[in-house]
Amino acid sequence: MNIDIKEDHYLKRDVNWLYFNARVLQEAKDVKNPLFERIKFLAIFSSNLDEYFKVRVSNLRQIKKIDRFTRKKLHLRPNKTLKQVLKIVNEQQQEFGKIYKETILPELASNSIYFKSSNEYTENQKDFIENYFEEHYKKINILTTNESKLHLGDGELYYSILTTNNELKFVEIPSKDRFIQLPSESNTYIFTLIDDVIKYKINATYKDKIHEIGEIKLSRDAELYLDDDFNGELAEQIYEALSQREIGQPTRLLYDSSISKEHRKLLKENLGLGKVDLMPGGSYHNFSDFMKFKNPSHNKNLEYIAQPPLDHPVLSKSNDLFNTISQKDQIVHFPYQKFDYVSLFLQQAAEDPDVTHIKISLYRIAKTSALNNALIKATELGKNVTIFVEAQARFDEANNIEWGKTFSDKGAKVIYSIPNIKVHSKIFYIKRKERTKTKGYAFISTGNFNANTAKLYIDHGLFTANENITSDIESVFEVLEHNLIIPKTKHLLVSPFNTRVQFYTLIDNEIQNAREGKKAKITAKMNSLHDKRMIHKLYEASMAGVEIRLLIRGFCCLEPEVEGLSDNIYITSIVDRYLEHGRVYCFENGGDEIMFIGSADWMTRNLDYRIEVLTPIYDKDIYKELKCILNLQLNDNVKARVLDHNFSNSYVTNNKSKLRSQYEIYNFLKAKV
């Protein structure tokens, strides 16, 4: 069925992402959250926005340079979108400043925690600052615009100084040890930022030469990532048109809004910025550093009540994980349960004389981990270890390549990125000799093999020895090792080969059932919904009467609540103490429901331009457990927001008992131990 859907019913990704970050800001504003958790949400908001400008806004600015014909063909209006983005960001940053000044700082003070600026130091504190500066920095390094090699670092903090003779100078603000505790009375905690220490020394040393001083931060252009949105010939045209652009060029200057127009003009001229590149901010930038600001008091009410990772009811009692998994599939849920079982299984595989091969795909590698050590040990003990390292994992490239070299030096076979395709799947495969045959074991996850992020990201990981799945996983690794062009899979959904087609088939089946008067329903939980063709397919299903329930943490380009188009689609989003990261897809299938979990969102890049793996859930007990967890998330009425046509981020309200899913899931799993 062909549907004539207006472009208006496909929402702008770059604008919609800001509605997601607004939900993060809501958590920072919510006084029901403990104080130091609200501070962390401000830090997350700031970090998100930095990445957004480095990548998404940078893309918009570069696309402005493309010829009009190509932009029109792609339905791109970068100028209009950019104006809308900057307006929303400015409003959000004003809200951010208001939250920090009017709620965070007063509440810190009520708990005897204070921040002092450079003009508030006592004489005793000035002596401390002088000694601290002498010990750690000794002198102030001033950069001038006359220097031929002047370069302001990406994301680094500087003071911009307008001198009395109208010259512009810069002083770098150190990024290390941003929070400095000052001498104070007992049970009182006084801090100052290194920003203020540097400002104090500047004023003390060059007072007569300074007309105005303000903090700035320059963001630079990141690599252009067009695979998120475009494909084929049009993408090539854009890349070719932008091939001469300077990567790393300045794209945004965040400045202290109190500095003068004259000062801003000089900054614009000397840093080669356009009018839209300047954005007003507060007196301090890089609020993401506040993730490192720890509660100095003994008041535990200022933080979330601890939820230590739980033991798995079966794996924790197992002396032989191969035997346990061989008998029955097992699933782990992070961060509710320990990540240790993943690395323990690999450690056992490394030491097991019957294990011959270990194959794994790594997307974001932890800097240090038991999992990495297990892989190294396996190579040292003579196992055939193959590690696929994604060298294009955004912002983790250097660490991934460094670990790839380490694995290779230890004897592993290391394979790097496939040209024009990222490997985003989270899988490993183990071959083991058992009696007269070789048996396969697999792990398929929605999240990365990273013990640190597993403490914060909600993900699911399936351990299985099911031959249908393990044979398919082996085929996927054959592709990664360049032994096959297309994997021979019958059960797994593997992008970019069969995921889109299989999802279309599953949706079409629901459409047909709805037309026949049967119950038809699609339930999907993902990070983001972006793919236009998938959205059109959901519109088609909605129009046919299929009930569609979506749970989307990030941006959503589908327009809900459009009469005759998306009436049957209901969408919520949960932002809470943990990051919702799991992908779960359920189809009613005439009463015999089908469920998949895996690494792919319904985004063009995940369906067509990345190696992704989703597995069906065949074990009935695991299916029931996942369905229970999913239902708790779908019924959250404490931290869930409704994504309506206005994207107002209104909290779910109903007459049901309060249900905070992340807490209820923890209690549900705790009861199983």
CATH code of the domain in which 201 resides: 3.30.1840.10
Residue 16's Cβ-count burial label (10 Å; 0-12, 13-18, 19+) is buried
Q: What's the sign of the alpha-carbon dihedral 100, 104, 110, 116?
A: negative
The top-scoring range by mean pLDDT among 122-136, 183-197, 499-513 is 499-513
Q: What is the CATH number of the domain that holds 455?
A: 3.30.870.10
| Binding site listing for Mg(2+) | 364, 394
Residue 308 inside a domain? The answer is: no
Question: Is residue 455 located within the same domain as residue 567?
Answer: no
For residue 121, what pLDDT is reported? 94
Residue 380 inside a domain? The answer is: yes
pLDDT at 511 over 60: yes
Question: Is residue 629 located within the same domain as residue 523?
Answer: yes
pLDDT at 228 over 50: no
**Residue where one domain finishes, among candidates 460, 491, 522:** 491
**Residue where one domain finishes, among candidates 302, 328, 361:** 302
Residue 20 inside a domain? The answer is: no
567-581 average pLDDT score: 97
Question: Is residue 46 located within the same domain as residue 152?
Answer: yes
Tell me the pLDDT tens digit for each residue of 585-629.
999 999 999 999 999 999 999 999 999 999 999 999 999 999 999
Q: Nearest CA to 14 among 87, 113, 82?
A: 82
For residue 672, what pLDDT is reported? 96
Q: Nearest CA to 329 among 315, 349, 346?
A: 315
Residue 476 inside a domain? The answer is: yes
**Among 263, 333, 424, 530, the one annotated catalytic:** 424
Q: Is 333 a catalytic residue?
A: no
Report if pTM > 0.75.
yes
pLDDT at 669 over 80: yes
| Binding site listing | 48, 364, 394, 457, 553, 581
Residue 126 binned pLDDT confidence (cut-offs 50, 70, 90)? very high
Residue 30's Cβ-count burial label (10 Å; 0-12, 13-18, 19+) is middle
Place of tokens 């299916």: 623
Residue 4 inside a domain? The answer is: no
The Cβ of residue 219 has, within 10 Å, a number of other Cβ atoms equal to 22
Question: Is residue 525 located within the same domain as residue 649?
Answer: yes
Q: Can you read off the two tokens belonging to residue 526?
A: 């993902």
User: What does the mean pLDDT of the chain come to?
Assistant: 89
Question: Is residue 409 located within the same domain as residue 537?
Answer: no
Q: Domain range for residue 213?
A: 31-302
Tell me the pLDDT tens digit for each residue of 357-413.
999 998 777 777 899 999 999 999 999 999 888 765 555 566 777 888 888 899 999
State how far the Cα of 441 lies from the Cα of 40, in Å rounded to an integer: 39
State how far the Cα of 279 lies from the Cα of 288, in Å rounded to an integer: 17
Residue 7 inside a domain? The answer is: no
For residue 192, what pLDDT is reported? 97
| Binding site listing for ATP | 48, 457, 553, 581
For residue 244, what pLDDT is reported? 42
298-323 average pLDDT score: 96
pLDDT at 6 over 90: no
Number of domains in the chain: 3
**Residue where one domain finishes, among candidates 471, 491, 511:** 491
Question: Is residue 368 located within the same domain as residue 232?
Answer: no
For residue 492, what pLDDT is reported? 98
Residue 8 inside a domain? The answer is: no
Question: Is residue 257 located within the same domain as residue 320?
Answer: no
Name the least confident of 248-257, 414-423, 434-443: 414-423
Question: Is residue 265 located within the same domain as residue 144?
Answer: yes
Question: Is residue 69 located within the same domain as residue 126?
Answer: yes
169-194 average pLDDT score: 92
Question: Is residue 234 located within the same domain as residue 378?
Answer: no
Place of tokens 């002198």: 139
Residue 26 inside a domain? The answer is: no
Element (H, E) at 24: helix 13-29
N residues, the chain: 673
Tell me the pLDDT tens digit for each residue of 517-543.
999 999 999 999 999 999 999 999 999
Question: Is residue 246 located within the same domain as residue 271?
Answer: yes
190-213 average pLDDT score: 92
For residue 245, what pLDDT is reported? 43
**Coil/strand/helix, residue 257:** coil
Name the least confident of 58-62, 165-169, 404-408: 58-62
Question: Is residue 394 located within the same domain as residue 286?
Answer: no
Q: What residue ranges in 399-503 does DSSP mark as E strands?
A: 413-415, 422-423, 426-434, 437-445, 457-464, 493-495
What backbone torsions phi and psi does residue 510 show, to the nearest 5 degrees? -65, -40
